[in-house]
Amino acid sequence: MSDGPFDVTVRVAEVQQAEPFPEANKPELVKLHLDLGGETLQSAAQLGYHHDPADLEGRRVLCATDLGSVRIAGFRSEALTVGVPGNDGNPVLVVPDEEVPLGGELH
């Protein structure tokens, strides 16, 4: 995505499973299991403001996959699901508007 010192790879994934994350300190966090086409990663995403977890399954999303991982309330988040602030300042998903291959990189 960039040639600078902060290279980030953003890839297309399909949400295989999404569920509420009540164990987290933030009630808007959602647990996601993401299929990148032969690779599966987990993400804890702040999507509960605008997205119902049940409506996320099967959707294609964009996620940064090379930022490392963090543990949140015992859940290993391995990807950062990409969103932008909505009118209320809370994250809204950034998604491709056409069917694109899983694992494809943003360029």
Look up the CATH number of the domain holding residue 54: 2.40.50.140
Per-residue pLDDT at 25 exceeds 60: yes
Helices (H) and strands (E) in the chain, counts: 1, 9
Per-residue pLDDT at 3 exceeds 90: no
Residue range 33-72, pLDDT digits in tens: 999 999 999 999 999 999 999 999 999 999 999 999 999 9
Per-residue pLDDT at 102 exceeds 80: yes
Per-residue pLDDT at 79 exceeds 50: yes
pLDDT at 9: 93
Residue 39 lies in a domain: yes
Residue 17 lies in a domain: yes
Range of the domain at 16: 10-88
